[in-house]
Amino acid sequence: MDLVANNPKVFVSHASEDKDSFVLEFATKLRAHGVDAWVDKWEMLPGDKLIHKIFEEGLKAPDAFIIVLSTTSVTKPWVREELDVAAVKRISNGMKLIPVVIDDCQIPGVLTATLYEKFDRPENYNASFDRVLSAIFNLSSKPPLGALPAYAHPSPVRMAGRSASDSLVIHVACEKALEDEDQYVYPVEAFDLNGSPKLPVQELRDCLEILEDDGAIESLKGIDPGIRPFRITESGFELYAREAIPGYSEMRCNVVRGIVNSELTSNIALSEHLGLPVYLTNHILSLLEHEGGIKLTKGLQERQTIYHVGASLRRELSA
């Protein structure tokens, strides 16, 4: 017998009446596909001990046991004996037991809970054979898992008092605003709605509605259809900055120092001096103005000029 290392060994149990009509062609095809199919006609020679050959060689350690079921084989005591041995091996060491049904026979009780493959229709022979081959090699036609959609990943930052979805929307919108140096966010682009959406569209709509109700964003009116562009409000960006920008408090202090100590009077000068994005500098200046620490004039191309520094800001620095 010409064995090939690592090729799965399969014992083919059958009735002699089915050998020429089905078994030999079937087993030959198994061997052509790398399966070491054990069939008595090929393995047993004159003088061999029948019981030793079958139970000590054929059934000793196969990777799988194929039983060919037919109206003839299910009545054979020898086939039932082999099946009983295979059933014990399946329980004791997990050997795969594969019933192959070639006619309209009664399935033995020990196999009623086992999925079998039918070879009773010639036009389906190749498909049935491929399924048996897949079972022997533990292959599956199940498609591989793809990557999780973007919205299935947790938000990089969970905003205090916000749902995961709301946090994700704020995070994506503010990151986009910083990247573009623009407070206006266009959802189709920011949330990749035409590609791999970062959120299901209805979930995004719900988040934007909630965030607008809370004053974190303001939708642009009169733009329809679809999800409208929106502006990130001061409170919306502040929510993001406190949770997501490392060292944000120190950045605010550095802006105050730049105004009071270095007497820098424009957003551009402060950004260049501190190495901050202009959008972030503008946000901090806007906060300081609303707190009464400075007064600003706003010119073309987002240029902001400080024309008054309040006593409260100077006192904040000395505190």
Could you tell me the residue ranges of all domains in the chain? 9-136, 153-242, 247-318
What are all long-range contacts of 302-305, with beta carbons under 8 Å and residues at least 24 apart? 302/181, 302/267, 302/278, 303/266, 303/267, 303/268, 304/266, 304/267, 305/265, 305/266
pLDDT at 125 exceeding the cut of 60:
yes
Paired residues of 298 in beta bridges? 304
Q: Measured over all CA atoms, what is the biggest interatomic distance in the chain, rounded to whole angstroms?
A: 113
Q: What is the pLDDT of residue 79?
A: 76
pLDDT at 60 over 80: no
In this structure, are residues 101 and 116 in contact, taking their beta carbons and an 8 Å threshold?
yes
Helices (H), the chain: 24-32, 40-43, 50-51, 77-93, 125-136, 164-180, 187-190, 201-213, 234-244, 248-260, 267-274, 278-290, 311-318
Q: Cβ contacts of residue 162 below 8 Å, gap of 6+?
A: 170, 239
What confidence category does residue 157 fall into, taking pLDDT thresholds of 50, 70 and 90?
confident
Three-class DSSP category at 287: helix
Token pair 């030999």 is found at 24
- Residue 150's pLDDT is 66
User: What architecture (CATH level 2) is domain 9-136?
Assistant: 3-Layer(aba) Sandwich (3.40)
Closest CA to 12 of 297, 104, 2, 22: 22
- Average pLDDT on 33-49 reads 73
Say if 153-242 and 247-318 have the same CATH topology: yes
Q: What average pLDDT does the structure give for the chain?
A: 84
One of 1.20.120.1230, 1.10.10.10, 1.10.10.60, 3.10.20.600 is the CATH number of 247-318, namely: 1.10.10.10
Residues paired with 219 in a beta bridge:
230
7-21, 146-160, 162-176, 248-262: lowest mean pLDDT where? Answer: 146-160
pLDDT at 210: 94
Q: Per-residue pLDDT averaged across 41-60, rounded?
A: 54
- Assign 44 a pLDDT band (cuts: 50, 70, 90): low
Alpha-carbon distance of 47 to 162, in angstroms, equals 82
Segment 264-293 mean pLDDT = 94
Query: What are the pLDDT digits (tens) for 226-270?
Result: 788 999 999 999 999 999 999 999 999 999 999 999 999 999 999
If one counts every other C-beta atom within 10 angstroms of the C-beta of residue 240, the result is: 24
* φ, ψ dihedrals at 259, nearest 5°: -75, -50
At residue 153, the pLDDT reads: 67
Q: Give 318 or 273, the one with higher predicted confidence.
A: 273
Q: What pLDDT is recorded for position 48?
A: 42
CA dist 49 and 57 (Å) reads 11
Query: Which fold, 153-242?
Result: Arc Repressor Mutant, subunit A (1.10.10)
| Residues 135-154 pLDDT 10s | 999 888 788 888 777 666 66
Model pTM score: 0.56
Query: For residue 161, what is the DSSP state?
Result: T
